[in-house]
Amino acid sequence: MPATLGSATVSRFQTDPEVHKLALEFDVAVGQAVHAGDAVVMNNDGTIQAAASADPAWKVIGYSIHDSGTADTDHLGRATVVMKGFAVVNGGAAAGPQNAGPVQLDAWDANNKRRNYAAITGASDAAKMATLAGISLTVGVNVNDPILVVVPF
């Protein structure tokens, strides 16, 4: 890989991200840092942070493609994430309020002509993984509020 302006670059990816792969920008949680190559998880408020070793795989939404965080003046606390999903769909919140994060399928909303998604439930990580339909990127304040969901996951 070529150097930039005379300084060697440090590659964290074996190859560049896949062409046309879904990549989205997120705010990094206050006080957190995300580094290039980090697996990231979404918090209830729609911010992200680096995944902890104890986080289950179903919570990981993708991988950061650069360094960012509160001390990083280049990216101002935002990080671009190469997502595990491949599309963003319009959905509805099955409950209100409904946090951002992992969701499962709920009923079809005939009035708004879209699928509603509910916060994921399940007693174990295996049960949650079995019902995981995507990741809600937005918070739904009321029932049937529009939300954006990354699918499939």
DSSP 57: G
> Domain range holding 91?
87-151
Domain boundary among 83, 101, 123: 83
Please tell me whether residues 69 and 111 are part of one structural domain: no
Please tell me the predicted confidence (pLDDT) of residue 4.
47
Chain CA centroid to CA 105, Å: 17
| Same domain, residue pair 130 and 78 | no
Q: What is the pLDDT of residues 6-62, one digit of tens each?
A: 445 555 555 555 666 889 999 999 889 899 899 999 999 999 999 999 999 889 999
CATH of the domain at 125: 2.40.340
Name residues whose C-beta falls within 8 Å of residue 138's C-beta, 6 or more positions apart in sequence: 46, 100, 146, 147, 148
Q: What is the pLDDT of residues 71-128, one digit of tens each?
A: 555 567 889 999 999 899 999 999 989 999 999 999 999 999 999 999 998 888 899 9
Asked whether residue 35 is domain-assigned, the answer is: yes
Domain assignment present for 127? yes
Asked if 70 and 100 sit in the same domain, the reply is no
User: What pTM was computed for the model?
Assistant: 0.80
Tokens of 76: 């101002």
